[in-house]
Structure 1
Protein backbone atom coordinates (compact mmCIF):
# COMPACT_ATOMS: atom_id res chain seq x y z
CA UNK A 1 0.00 0.00 0.00
CA UNK A 2 1.48 3.39 -1.02
CA UNK A 3 1.50 5.83 1.92
CA UNK A 4 2.24 8.95 -0.11
CA UNK A 5 1.12 12.42 0.90
CA UNK A 6 -2.21 13.73 -0.32
CA UNK A 7 -2.44 16.55 -2.86
CA UNK A 8 -3.76 18.87 -0.18
CA UNK A 9 -0.79 18.11 2.09
CA UNK A 10 1.69 18.67 -0.72
CA UNK A 11 -0.03 21.90 -1.73
CA UNK A 12 0.06 23.31 1.82
CA UNK A 13 3.70 22.36 2.34
CA UNK A 14 4.61 23.78 -1.06
CA UNK A 15 3.10 27.15 -0.16
CA UNK A 16 5.11 27.32 3.05
CA UNK A 17 8.37 26.44 1.31
CA UNK A 18 7.75 28.74 -1.65
CA UNK A 19 7.07 31.61 0.74
CA UNK A 20 10.16 30.82 2.80
CA UNK A 21 12.51 30.81 -0.21
CA UNK A 22 10.82 33.54 -2.28
CA UNK A 23 13.46 35.84 -3.88
CA UNK A 24 11.64 38.96 -2.66
CA UNK A 25 12.21 37.87 0.94
CA UNK A 26 15.78 36.73 0.29
CA UNK A 27 17.33 39.46 -1.88
CA UNK A 28 20.70 38.47 -3.27
CA UNK A 29 20.51 34.91 -1.89
CA UNK A 30 21.26 32.66 -4.86
CA UNK A 31 20.73 29.48 -2.85
CA UNK A 32 17.24 30.62 -1.86
CA UNK A 33 16.49 31.51 -5.48
CA UNK A 34 17.54 28.05 -6.67
CA UNK A 35 15.52 26.41 -3.92
CA UNK A 36 12.47 28.48 -4.89
CA UNK A 37 12.80 27.25 -8.48
CA UNK A 38 13.25 23.67 -7.30
CA UNK A 39 10.13 23.86 -5.14
CA UNK A 40 8.08 25.13 -8.08
CA UNK A 41 9.35 22.42 -10.40
CA UNK A 42 8.74 19.69 -7.82
CA UNK A 43 5.24 20.94 -7.11
CA UNK A 44 4.47 21.03 -10.84
CA UNK A 45 5.44 17.37 -11.10
CA UNK A 46 3.78 16.14 -7.90
CA UNK A 47 0.54 18.01 -8.55
CA UNK A 48 0.13 16.27 -11.91
CA UNK A 49 -1.50 12.92 -11.09
CA UNK A 50 -0.18 11.16 -14.19
CA UNK A 51 3.39 12.44 -13.85
CA UNK A 52 3.37 11.76 -10.14
CA UNK A 53 2.29 8.17 -10.74
CA UNK A 54 4.99 7.69 -13.38
CA UNK A 55 7.62 9.24 -11.12
CA UNK A 56 6.38 7.03 -8.28
CA UNK A 57 6.90 3.97 -10.48
CA UNK A 58 10.36 5.17 -11.51
CA UNK A 59 9.43 5.69 -15.17
CA UNK A 60 10.49 9.39 -15.28
CA UNK A 61 12.99 11.50 -13.37
CA UNK A 62 12.46 14.80 -11.56
CA UNK A 63 12.64 16.67 -14.88
CA UNK A 64 9.91 14.50 -16.39
CA UNK A 65 12.39 12.63 -18.61
CA UNK A 66 12.10 8.92 -19.27
CA UNK A 67 14.25 6.78 -17.00
CA UNK A 68 14.24 3.57 -15.06
CA UNK A 69 15.10 3.02 -11.39
CA UNK A 70 17.28 0.00 -10.73
CA UNK A 71 15.12 -2.86 -9.65
CA UNK A 72 11.96 -1.03 -10.74
CA UNK A 73 11.94 0.91 -7.46
CA UNK A 74 9.38 3.50 -6.42
CA UNK A 75 11.36 6.71 -6.81
CA UNK A 76 9.02 9.11 -5.05
CA UNK A 77 8.36 6.81 -2.12
CA UNK A 78 12.05 6.03 -1.78
CA UNK A 79 12.92 9.72 -1.52
CA UNK A 80 10.22 10.14 1.10
CA UNK A 81 11.68 7.58 3.48
CA UNK A 82 12.55 8.84 6.92
CA UNK A 83 15.72 8.26 8.90
CA UNK A 84 14.21 5.17 10.55
CA UNK A 85 13.22 3.60 7.24
CA UNK A 86 9.47 4.26 7.51
CA UNK A 87 7.39 6.20 5.01
CA UNK A 88 5.72 9.47 5.75
CA UNK A 89 2.01 8.75 5.85
CA UNK A 90 -1.18 10.75 5.60
CA UNK A 91 -1.82 12.93 8.63
CA UNK A 92 1.92 12.98 9.52
CA UNK A 93 3.16 14.93 6.55
CA UNK A 94 4.90 18.25 7.22
CA UNK A 95 6.93 20.97 5.58
CA UNK A 96 10.11 19.18 6.63
CA UNK A 97 8.90 15.99 4.94
CA UNK A 98 8.25 17.81 1.69
CA UNK A 99 11.68 19.41 1.99
CA UNK A 100 13.16 15.92 2.23
CA UNK A 101 11.22 14.79 -0.85
CA UNK A 102 12.24 17.87 -2.83
CA UNK A 103 15.79 17.51 -1.58
CA UNK A 104 15.92 13.97 -2.94
CA UNK A 105 14.36 14.98 -6.23
CA UNK A 106 16.46 18.09 -6.80
CA UNK A 107 19.52 17.62 -4.60
CA UNK A 108 21.84 17.58 -7.60
CA UNK A 109 20.38 20.81 -8.94
CA UNK A 110 21.22 23.10 -6.04
CA UNK A 111 17.97 22.44 -4.21
CA UNK A 112 17.19 21.73 -0.55
CA UNK A 113 19.57 20.35 2.03
CA UNK A 114 18.37 18.04 4.76
CA UNK A 115 18.86 19.53 8.19
CA UNK A 116 21.16 16.80 9.54
CA UNK A 117 23.81 17.79 6.96
CA UNK A 118 25.04 20.82 8.93
CA UNK A 119 24.23 24.24 10.38
CA UNK A 120 21.28 26.06 8.85
CA UNK A 121 19.82 29.52 9.27
CA UNK A 122 16.70 29.68 11.43
CA UNK A 123 13.26 30.47 10.07
CA UNK A 124 12.34 34.07 9.31
CA UNK A 125 9.39 35.51 11.21
CA UNK A 126 6.86 37.91 9.70
CA UNK A 127 5.11 40.69 11.59
CA UNK A 128 2.86 43.65 10.82
CA UNK A 129 3.41 47.07 12.39
CA UNK A 130 1.31 50.22 12.11
CA UNK A 131 3.27 53.45 12.62
CA UNK A 132 2.08 57.03 12.93
CA UNK A 133 2.31 59.43 10.01
CA UNK A 134 4.76 61.60 11.95
CA UNK A 135 7.09 58.65 12.60
CA UNK A 136 6.98 57.76 8.91
CA UNK A 137 8.06 61.32 8.06
CA UNK A 138 10.52 62.03 10.86
CA UNK A 139 11.65 58.54 11.80
CA UNK A 140 11.25 57.08 15.26
CA UNK A 141 11.00 53.88 17.26
CA UNK A 142 8.01 51.56 17.51
CA UNK A 143 7.47 48.32 19.37
CA UNK A 144 6.34 44.95 18.06
CA UNK A 145 4.82 42.38 20.41
CA UNK A 146 6.14 38.89 19.67
CA UNK A 147 4.36 35.59 20.27
CA UNK A 148 4.64 34.80 23.94
CA UNK A 149 4.46 38.44 25.03
CA UNK A 150 8.06 39.55 24.41
CA UNK A 151 8.57 42.88 22.68
CA UNK A 152 10.95 44.09 19.99
CA UNK A 153 11.90 47.72 19.42
CA UNK A 154 11.91 48.64 15.75
CA UNK A 155 13.76 51.68 14.42
CA UNK A 156 11.60 53.43 11.81
CA UNK A 157 13.72 55.28 9.24
CA UNK A 158 12.42 58.64 7.97
CA UNK A 159 10.63 58.42 4.65
CA UNK A 160 9.39 54.85 5.09
CA UNK A 161 6.39 54.07 2.88
CA UNK A 162 3.21 52.08 3.37
CA UNK A 163 3.77 48.40 2.58
CA UNK A 164 7.55 48.58 2.91
CA UNK A 165 9.22 45.62 4.66
CA UNK A 166 11.92 46.10 7.29
CA UNK A 167 14.36 43.25 7.85
CA UNK A 168 15.80 42.87 11.35
CA UNK A 169 18.63 40.41 11.02
CA UNK A 170 18.96 37.74 13.66
CA UNK A 171 15.57 38.48 15.24
CA UNK A 172 13.79 35.41 13.87
CA UNK A 173 13.92 31.77 14.98
CA UNK A 174 17.11 30.23 16.30
CA UNK A 175 19.37 28.52 13.80
CA UNK A 176 19.79 24.75 13.43
CA UNK A 177 22.93 23.00 14.64
CA UNK A 178 24.73 26.26 15.39
CA UNK A 179 23.52 28.12 12.30
CA UNK A 180 22.62 31.82 12.43
CA UNK A 181 19.21 32.96 13.62
CA UNK A 182 16.56 33.88 11.09
CA UNK A 183 15.35 37.42 10.48
CA UNK A 184 12.25 39.34 11.48
CA UNK A 185 10.41 40.71 8.44
CA UNK A 186 8.13 43.58 9.43
CA UNK A 187 5.55 44.91 6.99
CA UNK A 188 4.79 48.58 7.68
CA UNK A 189 1.37 50.23 7.56
CA UNK A 190 1.12 54.00 8.01
CA UNK A 191 -1.82 55.39 9.93
CA UNK A 192 -3.60 58.36 8.32
CA UNK A 193 -3.13 61.76 9.94
CA UNK A 194 -5.93 64.32 10.49
CA UNK A 195 -3.65 67.23 9.52
CA UNK A 196 -1.11 66.04 6.97
CA UNK A 197 -0.97 64.10 3.72
CA UNK A 198 2.12 62.96 1.88
CA UNK A 199 3.09 63.66 -1.71
CA UNK A 200 6.40 61.92 -2.37
CA UNK A 201 8.84 63.61 -0.01
CA UNK A 202 6.58 66.64 0.35
CA UNK A 203 3.87 67.06 2.95
CA UNK A 204 0.63 68.99 2.50
CA UNK A 205 -1.79 70.54 4.98
CA UNK A 206 -4.53 73.14 5.25
CA UNK A 207 -4.57 76.06 7.69
CA UNK A 208 -7.39 78.44 8.64
CA UNK A 209 -6.58 82.17 8.86
CA UNK A 210 -8.79 85.11 9.81
CA UNK A 211 -10.00 87.78 7.40
CA UNK A 212 -7.72 90.48 8.79
CA UNK A 213 -4.59 88.40 8.26
CA UNK A 214 -5.75 87.40 4.79
CA UNK A 215 -6.32 91.03 3.77
CA UNK A 216 -3.48 92.81 5.56
CA UNK A 217 -0.97 89.98 5.85
CA UNK A 218 0.91 89.08 8.99
CA UNK A 219 2.78 86.46 10.97
CA UNK A 220 1.10 83.22 11.95
CA UNK A 221 2.18 80.01 13.66
CA UNK A 222 2.08 76.96 11.41
CA UNK A 223 2.15 73.36 12.70
CA UNK A 224 4.69 71.20 10.86
CA UNK A 225 5.64 67.52 11.28
CA UNK A 226 8.76 68.61 13.16
CA UNK A 227 7.03 71.22 15.34
CA UNK A 228 5.43 74.68 15.01
CA UNK A 229 7.17 77.48 13.08
CA UNK A 230 6.40 81.13 12.26
CA UNK A 231 5.39 82.06 8.74
CA UNK A 232 4.44 85.36 7.11
CA UNK A 233 1.20 85.51 5.16
CA UNK A 234 1.42 88.02 2.30
CA UNK A 235 -1.33 90.69 2.03
CA UNK A 236 -4.38 89.94 -0.11
CA UNK A 237 -4.12 86.18 0.36
CA UNK A 238 -7.27 84.25 -0.46
CA UNK A 239 -8.68 80.83 0.28
CA UNK A 240 -6.75 78.28 -1.74
CA UNK A 241 -3.47 80.22 -1.68
CA UNK A 242 -0.57 77.83 -1.08
CA UNK A 243 2.53 78.77 0.89
CA UNK A 244 5.73 76.73 0.92
CA UNK A 245 7.99 75.99 3.86
CA UNK A 246 11.29 74.60 2.58
CA UNK A 247 12.68 71.49 4.24
CA UNK A 248 9.64 70.99 6.49
CA UNK A 249 8.37 67.85 4.77
CA UNK A 250 9.86 64.33 4.94
CA UNK A 251 13.27 64.43 6.58
CA UNK A 252 16.35 63.88 4.45
CA UNK A 253 17.05 60.17 4.00
CA UNK A 254 18.90 57.79 1.73
CA UNK A 255 20.72 60.56 -0.11
CA UNK A 256 17.48 62.44 -0.76
CA UNK A 257 17.00 66.02 0.38
CA UNK A 258 14.31 66.93 2.86
CA UNK A 259 10.90 67.57 1.31
CA UNK A 260 8.81 70.73 1.64
CA UNK A 261 5.60 71.52 3.49
CA UNK A 262 2.86 73.09 1.37
CA UNK A 263 0.19 74.91 3.36
CA UNK A 264 -3.15 75.75 1.74
CA UNK A 265 -4.85 78.74 3.34
CA UNK A 266 -8.51 78.70 4.28
CA UNK A 267 -9.92 82.12 5.10
CA UNK A 268 -12.47 81.99 7.93
CA UNK A 269 -14.81 84.78 9.03
CA UNK A 270 -14.89 84.02 12.72
CA UNK A 271 -16.80 86.20 15.19
CA UNK A 272 -17.81 89.66 13.87
CA UNK A 273 -18.99 92.89 15.53
CA UNK A 274 -21.36 95.68 14.44
CA UNK A 275 -18.57 97.92 13.18
CA UNK A 276 -17.39 95.23 10.81
CA UNK A 277 -20.94 94.61 9.62
CA UNK A 278 -21.47 98.36 9.01
CA UNK A 279 -18.22 98.45 7.05
CA UNK A 280 -19.34 95.60 4.84
CA UNK A 281 -22.65 97.34 4.18
CA UNK A 282 -20.80 100.39 2.86
CA UNK A 283 -18.00 98.49 1.14
CA UNK A 284 -17.93 98.22 -2.63
CA UNK A 285 -15.65 95.26 -3.47
CA UNK A 286 -15.43 96.43 -7.10
CA UNK A 287 -14.01 99.80 -6.05
CA UNK A 288 -16.85 102.00 -7.41
CA UNK A 289 -18.41 104.53 -5.01
CA UNK A 290 -20.96 107.26 -5.64
CA UNK A 291 -19.59 109.34 -2.77
CA UNK A 292 -22.59 109.05 -0.44
CA UNK A 293 -21.48 105.82 1.15
CA UNK A 294 -24.04 103.74 -0.72
CA UNK A 295 -22.77 100.84 -2.69
Structure 2
Protein backbone atom coordinates (compact mmCIF):
# COMPACT_ATOMS: atom_id res chain seq x y z
CA UNK A 1 0.00 0.00 0.00
CA UNK A 2 1.08 3.61 -0.54
CA UNK A 3 2.32 5.77 2.30
CA UNK A 4 -0.76 6.28 4.55
CA UNK A 5 -0.02 9.99 4.88
CA UNK A 6 -0.15 10.31 1.09
CA UNK A 7 -3.34 8.23 0.90
CA UNK A 8 -5.19 10.53 3.30
CA UNK A 9 -3.53 13.65 1.89
CA UNK A 10 -2.09 14.88 5.19
CA UNK A 11 1.39 15.83 6.33
CA UNK A 12 3.46 13.76 8.73
CA UNK A 13 2.92 16.44 11.39
CA UNK A 14 -0.88 16.40 11.04
CA UNK A 15 -2.91 16.31 14.25
CA UNK A 16 -5.30 13.47 15.14
CA UNK A 17 -8.25 15.73 14.31
CA UNK A 18 -6.82 16.55 10.86
CA UNK A 19 -6.24 12.87 10.12
CA UNK A 20 -9.75 11.93 11.21
CA UNK A 21 -11.27 14.74 9.13
CA UNK A 22 -9.33 13.66 6.03
CA UNK A 23 -10.36 10.03 6.52
CA UNK A 24 -14.05 10.88 6.91
CA UNK A 25 -13.96 13.01 3.77
CA UNK A 26 -12.47 10.19 1.69
CA UNK A 27 -14.72 7.52 3.24
CA UNK A 28 -17.78 9.60 2.36
CA UNK A 29 -16.55 10.34 -1.16
CA UNK A 30 -15.59 6.78 -2.10
CA UNK A 31 -18.09 4.76 -0.03
CA UNK A 32 -19.36 1.74 -2.03
CA UNK A 33 -22.99 2.80 -1.52
CA UNK A 34 -22.33 6.00 -3.47
CA UNK A 35 -20.16 4.35 -6.13
CA UNK A 36 -21.78 0.99 -6.79
CA UNK A 37 -20.39 0.65 -10.33
CA UNK A 38 -17.00 2.24 -9.74
CA UNK A 39 -14.29 -0.35 -9.01
CA UNK A 40 -11.65 2.34 -8.50
CA UNK A 41 -13.78 4.02 -5.83
CA UNK A 42 -14.02 0.71 -4.00
CA UNK A 43 -10.22 0.41 -4.05
CA UNK A 44 -9.79 3.99 -2.82
CA UNK A 45 -12.29 3.33 -0.02
CA UNK A 46 -10.38 0.23 1.11
CA UNK A 47 -7.07 2.07 0.81
CA UNK A 48 -8.35 4.96 2.96
CA UNK A 49 -9.52 2.53 5.64
CA UNK A 50 -6.17 0.75 5.66
CA UNK A 51 -4.32 4.06 5.92
CA UNK A 52 -6.50 5.25 8.79
CA UNK A 53 -5.90 2.00 10.65
CA UNK A 54 -2.19 2.84 10.68
CA UNK A 55 -1.96 6.59 11.35
CA UNK A 56 -5.37 6.91 12.99
CA UNK A 57 -4.09 4.72 15.82
CA UNK A 58 -1.62 6.59 18.02
CA UNK A 59 0.59 3.56 18.79
CA UNK A 60 0.66 2.22 15.21
CA UNK A 61 1.42 5.72 13.93
CA UNK A 62 4.49 5.91 16.18
CA UNK A 63 5.62 2.48 15.00
CA UNK A 64 5.20 3.49 11.36
CA UNK A 65 7.04 6.78 11.86
CA UNK A 66 9.92 4.90 13.51
CA UNK A 67 10.02 2.47 10.58
CA UNK A 68 9.03 -0.53 12.71
CA UNK A 69 6.00 -1.41 10.56
CA UNK A 70 5.20 -0.86 6.90
CA UNK A 71 2.13 0.76 5.30
CA UNK A 72 0.21 -2.51 5.70
CA UNK A 73 0.95 -2.67 9.42
CA UNK A 74 3.41 -5.55 9.05
CA UNK A 75 6.79 -5.58 10.83
CA UNK A 76 9.68 -4.47 8.67
CA UNK A 77 12.62 -6.88 8.18
CA UNK A 78 15.68 -5.78 10.16
CA UNK A 79 19.04 -7.19 11.17
CA UNK A 80 20.97 -7.20 7.88
CA UNK A 81 23.77 -5.00 9.15
CA UNK A 82 25.56 -7.70 11.13
CA UNK A 83 25.69 -10.26 8.32
CA UNK A 84 28.55 -8.75 6.39
CA UNK A 85 28.65 -8.49 2.59
CA UNK A 86 28.48 -10.90 -0.29
CA UNK A 87 31.53 -13.15 -0.42
CA UNK A 88 31.70 -13.15 -4.18
CA UNK A 89 32.45 -16.88 -4.03
CA UNK A 90 29.62 -19.01 -5.33
CA UNK A 91 26.81 -16.63 -4.33
CA UNK A 92 27.02 -17.40 -0.60
CA UNK A 93 27.25 -14.98 2.34
CA UNK A 94 30.21 -14.37 4.59
CA UNK A 95 29.68 -14.47 8.30
CA UNK A 96 26.94 -17.14 8.40
CA UNK A 97 27.61 -19.84 11.00
CA UNK A 98 28.73 -22.95 9.21
CA UNK A 99 28.58 -21.23 5.81
CA UNK A 100 31.31 -21.75 3.26
CA UNK A 101 30.00 -19.75 0.37
CA UNK A 102 28.16 -22.81 -0.89
CA UNK A 103 24.92 -21.07 -1.88
CA UNK A 104 21.40 -21.47 -0.61
CA UNK A 105 20.16 -24.64 -2.26
CA UNK A 106 19.41 -27.97 -0.69
CA UNK A 107 17.77 -26.62 2.49
CA UNK A 108 21.10 -25.33 3.82
CA UNK A 109 21.88 -22.68 6.38
CA UNK A 110 21.04 -19.83 4.02
CA UNK A 111 17.40 -20.87 3.82
CA UNK A 112 17.11 -21.15 7.60
CA UNK A 113 18.49 -17.65 8.06
CA UNK A 114 16.20 -16.13 5.43
CA UNK A 115 13.24 -17.97 6.93
CA UNK A 116 14.11 -16.35 10.25
CA UNK A 117 14.43 -12.89 8.69
CA UNK A 118 11.40 -12.92 6.41
CA UNK A 119 9.18 -15.29 8.38
CA UNK A 120 6.17 -16.89 6.73
CA UNK A 121 6.51 -14.78 3.59
CA UNK A 122 9.72 -16.66 2.67
CA UNK A 123 8.41 -20.07 3.62
CA UNK A 124 5.10 -19.54 1.79
CA UNK A 125 6.81 -18.30 -1.38
CA UNK A 126 9.84 -20.55 -1.13
CA UNK A 127 12.92 -20.40 -3.29
CA UNK A 128 12.59 -20.92 -6.99
CA UNK A 129 14.62 -23.39 -9.00
CA UNK A 130 17.28 -20.75 -9.58
CA UNK A 131 17.51 -19.76 -5.93
CA UNK A 132 15.30 -16.63 -6.24
CA UNK A 133 12.02 -15.84 -4.54
CA UNK A 134 8.74 -16.92 -6.10
CA UNK A 135 5.93 -14.38 -6.32
CA UNK A 136 3.38 -14.75 -3.53
CA UNK A 137 -0.19 -15.58 -4.47
CA UNK A 138 -2.50 -12.57 -4.73
CA UNK A 139 -4.35 -11.55 -1.59
CA UNK A 140 -8.12 -11.89 -1.67
CA UNK A 141 -10.35 -8.88 -2.33
CA UNK A 142 -12.01 -6.91 0.45
CA UNK A 143 -15.79 -6.96 0.65
CA UNK A 144 -18.09 -4.12 1.74
CA UNK A 145 -21.10 -4.78 3.97
CA UNK A 146 -23.53 -2.83 6.14
CA UNK A 147 -25.05 -3.53 9.53
CA UNK A 148 -28.15 -1.64 10.66
CA UNK A 149 -28.58 -1.43 14.43
CA UNK A 150 -31.05 0.17 16.81
CA UNK A 151 -30.07 2.49 19.64
CA UNK A 152 -31.13 -0.22 22.07
CA UNK A 153 -28.70 -2.67 20.43
CA UNK A 154 -25.90 -0.10 20.56
CA UNK A 155 -26.65 0.57 24.22
CA UNK A 156 -26.65 -3.14 25.10
CA UNK A 157 -23.55 -3.89 22.94
CA UNK A 158 -25.46 -6.81 21.44
CA UNK A 159 -23.99 -9.62 19.39
CA UNK A 160 -25.70 -9.69 15.99
CA UNK A 161 -25.71 -12.25 13.18
CA UNK A 162 -24.48 -10.84 9.86
CA UNK A 163 -24.59 -12.43 6.40
CA UNK A 164 -21.65 -11.24 4.30
CA UNK A 165 -21.76 -10.97 0.46
CA UNK A 166 -19.26 -13.84 0.39
CA UNK A 167 -22.01 -16.14 1.68
CA UNK A 168 -20.44 -16.46 5.11
CA UNK A 169 -22.37 -15.68 8.31
CA UNK A 170 -20.55 -14.22 11.30
CA UNK A 171 -21.41 -12.91 14.76
CA UNK A 172 -20.60 -9.22 15.19
CA UNK A 173 -20.55 -7.44 18.56
CA UNK A 174 -21.59 -3.78 18.33
CA UNK A 175 -18.37 -1.99 19.36
CA UNK A 176 -18.25 0.60 22.15
CA UNK A 177 -18.30 4.20 20.95
CA UNK A 178 -19.49 3.32 17.45
CA UNK A 179 -20.90 6.20 15.40
CA UNK A 180 -23.40 6.20 12.56
CA UNK A 181 -21.60 5.71 9.25
CA UNK A 182 -18.39 4.43 10.86
CA UNK A 183 -16.59 1.66 8.98
CA UNK A 184 -14.79 -1.09 10.87
CA UNK A 185 -12.48 -3.75 9.43
CA UNK A 186 -13.10 -7.45 10.05
CA UNK A 187 -9.81 -9.08 9.13
CA UNK A 188 -9.80 -12.24 7.06
CA UNK A 189 -13.54 -12.20 6.32
CA UNK A 190 -13.30 -11.02 2.71
CA UNK A 191 -12.93 -13.08 -0.45
CA UNK A 192 -10.33 -15.89 -0.45
CA UNK A 193 -6.97 -15.40 -2.13
CA UNK A 194 -5.71 -16.89 -5.35
CA UNK A 195 -4.34 -20.04 -3.71
CA UNK A 196 -4.80 -21.98 -0.46
CA UNK A 197 -1.74 -20.21 0.96
CA UNK A 198 -2.85 -16.71 -0.04
CA UNK A 199 -4.17 -14.32 2.59
CA UNK A 200 -7.93 -13.64 2.38
CA UNK A 201 -9.29 -10.11 2.07
CA UNK A 202 -11.10 -8.23 4.83
CA UNK A 203 -14.73 -7.25 5.36
CA UNK A 204 -15.29 -3.48 5.58
CA UNK A 205 -18.39 -3.16 7.71
CA UNK A 206 -20.26 0.15 7.81
CA UNK A 207 -22.49 0.67 10.86
CA UNK A 208 -25.87 2.34 10.31
CA UNK A 209 -27.71 3.46 13.46
CA UNK A 210 -31.43 3.51 12.79
CA UNK A 211 -33.44 6.63 13.71
CA UNK A 212 -35.27 6.40 17.04
CA UNK A 213 -38.82 7.70 17.58
CA UNK A 214 -37.95 9.24 20.96
CA UNK A 215 -34.21 9.73 21.38
CA UNK A 216 -31.84 12.10 19.59
CA UNK A 217 -28.16 11.12 19.48
CA UNK A 218 -25.38 13.62 20.28
CA UNK A 219 -22.14 11.65 20.36
CA UNK A 220 -22.49 9.31 23.36
CA UNK A 221 -25.27 11.46 24.88
CA UNK A 222 -29.00 11.16 24.25
CA UNK A 223 -31.78 13.74 24.36
CA UNK A 224 -35.46 13.10 25.01
CA UNK A 225 -38.56 15.23 25.54
CA UNK A 226 -40.77 14.31 28.50
CA UNK A 227 -44.42 15.35 28.76
CA UNK A 228 -45.19 16.75 32.24
CA UNK A 229 -48.77 17.45 33.46
CA UNK A 230 -49.33 21.05 34.51
CA UNK A 231 -50.13 20.04 38.08
CA UNK A 232 -46.84 18.13 38.44
CA UNK A 233 -44.93 21.05 36.97
CA UNK A 234 -46.47 23.45 39.51
CA UNK A 235 -46.39 21.27 42.61
CA UNK A 236 -43.34 19.14 41.80
CA UNK A 237 -43.01 15.40 42.28
CA UNK A 238 -41.72 12.30 40.47
CA UNK A 239 -42.01 11.80 36.75
CA UNK A 240 -41.07 8.79 34.61
CA UNK A 241 -38.31 9.37 32.07
CA UNK A 242 -37.75 6.85 29.25
CA UNK A 243 -34.24 5.39 28.80
CA UNK A 244 -32.81 2.72 26.49
CA UNK A 245 -33.27 0.13 29.25
CA UNK A 246 -36.72 1.21 30.44
CA UNK A 247 -38.35 4.15 32.21
CA UNK A 248 -36.86 5.49 35.46
CA UNK A 249 -38.25 7.78 38.18
CA UNK A 250 -36.88 11.32 38.37
CA UNK A 251 -37.71 13.91 41.03
CA UNK A 252 -38.79 17.25 39.60
CA UNK A 253 -38.88 20.44 41.69
CA UNK A 254 -42.00 22.57 42.04
CA UNK A 255 -42.59 25.42 39.58
CA UNK A 256 -40.71 23.69 36.78
CA UNK A 257 -41.11 25.56 33.52
CA UNK A 258 -41.52 24.03 30.09
CA UNK A 259 -38.21 23.53 28.28
CA UNK A 260 -36.16 22.91 31.41
CA UNK A 261 -33.51 20.20 30.92
CA UNK A 262 -32.39 17.62 33.48
CA UNK A 263 -29.29 15.39 33.21
CA UNK A 264 -29.46 11.68 34.01
CA UNK A 265 -25.83 10.57 34.25
CA UNK A 266 -24.74 7.29 32.69
CA UNK A 267 -28.02 6.72 30.81
CA UNK A 268 -26.53 7.39 27.38
CA UNK A 269 -24.53 5.22 24.96
CA UNK A 270 -21.32 3.25 25.71
CA UNK A 271 -17.98 5.00 25.13
CA UNK A 272 -14.69 3.44 24.04
CA UNK A 273 -13.23 3.88 27.54
CA UNK A 274 -16.01 1.76 29.10
CA UNK A 275 -18.00 4.67 30.55
CA UNK A 276 -21.38 5.82 29.25
CA UNK A 277 -22.78 9.11 28.05
CA UNK A 278 -25.66 10.94 29.71
CA UNK A 279 -29.35 11.37 28.99
CA UNK A 280 -30.75 14.91 28.83
CA UNK A 281 -34.50 15.08 29.52
CA UNK A 282 -36.30 18.28 28.50
CA UNK A 283 -39.74 19.01 29.96
CA UNK A 284 -42.79 19.81 27.87
CA UNK A 285 -45.74 21.02 30.01
CA UNK A 286 -49.11 19.59 29.01
CA UNK A 287 -52.35 21.37 29.87
CA UNK A 288 -55.42 19.58 31.27
CA UNK A 289 -58.02 18.53 28.71
CA UNK A 290 -60.76 21.09 29.56
CA UNK A 291 -62.48 24.19 28.17
CA UNK A 292 -61.18 27.75 28.65
CA UNK A 293 -63.46 28.53 31.63
CA UNK A 294 -62.30 25.43 33.48
CA UNK A 295 -58.66 26.29 32.82
CA UNK A 296 -59.19 29.82 34.12
CA UNK A 297 -60.81 28.53 37.29
CA UNK A 298 -58.00 26.00 37.71
CA UNK A 299 -55.35 28.72 37.48
CA UNK A 300 -57.21 30.94 39.98
CA UNK A 301 -57.49 28.11 42.50
CA UNK A 302 -53.74 27.39 42.23
CA UNK A 303 -52.93 31.08 42.67
CA UNK A 304 -55.13 31.25 45.77
CA UNK A 305 -53.47 28.15 47.17
CA UNK A 306 -50.01 29.67 46.77
CA UNK A 307 -51.17 32.97 48.38
CA UNK A 308 -52.54 31.12 51.40
TM-score normalised to structure 1 length: 0.56
State the number of aligned residues: 196
Taking the aligned partners of 1:170 and 1:270, their CA distance within structure 2 comes to 61
**Is the Cα contact below 8 Å between 2:190 and 2:203 reproduced in 1?**
yes
Are the structure 2 counterparts of residues 148 and 213 from structure 1 closer, same or farther at C-alpha, using a change threshold of 3 Å? same
Runs of 4+ deviating beyond 4 Å? 272-278, 283-289
Three-state SS of the structure 2 residue aligned to 1:30 is coil
Higher RCO, Cα 8 Å, sep 6+: 1
Which residue matches 2:161?
Answer: 143
Which residue matches 2:225?
Answer: 206
**Is the Cα contact below 8 Å between 2:176 and 2:272 reproduced in 1?**
no
Taking the aligned partners of 2:38 and 2:214, their CA distance within structure 1 comes to 46
Deviation at 1:135, TM superposition (A): 2.5
Three-state SS of the structure 1 residue aligned to 2:231 is helix
Taking the aligned partners of 2:209 and 2:46, their CA distance within structure 1 comes to 27
Deviation at 1:181, TM superposition (A): 2.1
Q: How does 1:1-295 map to 2 (within 5 A)?
A: 15=40, 18-19=43-44, 22-26=47-51, 27-28=53-54, 30=70, 117-147=135-165, 150-177=168-195, 178-251=197-270, 253-255=271-273, 257-272=275-290, 277=295, 279-280=297-298, 282-283=300-301
Taking the aligned partners of 2:258 and 2:181, their CA distance within structure 1 comes to 35
**Is the Cα contact below 8 Å between 1:137 and 1:160 reproduced in 2?**
no
**Is the Cα contact below 8 Å between 1:22 and 1:32 reproduced in 2?**
no
Unaligned runs of at least 5 residues, structure 2? 1-36, 55-68, 74-133
Deviation at 1:238, TM superposition (A): 1.4
Choose 172-181 or 211-220, whichever is displaced more.
Answer: 172-181
Deviation at 1:287, TM superposition (A): 10
Taking the aligned partners of 1:32 and 1:271, their CA distance within structure 2 comes to 66
Deviations 1:104-146 (A, max 9, x none): xxxxxxxxxxxx7224432211112222123234422333333
Choose 128-137 or 194-203, whichever is displaced more.
Answer: 128-137
Deviation at 1:277, TM superposition (A): 4.2
CA RMSD of aligned residues (A): 3.6
Which residue matches 2:118?
Answer: none
Are the structure 2 counterparts of residues 269 and 181 from structure 1 closer, same or farther at C-alpha, using a change threshold of 3 Å? same
Taking the aligned partners of 1:146 and 1:184, their CA distance within structure 2 comes to 8
Taking the aligned partners of 2:222 and 2:164, their CA distance within structure 1 comes to 33
Taking the aligned partners of 1:196 and 1:258, their CA distance within structure 2 comes to 16
Which residue matches 2:86?
Answer: none
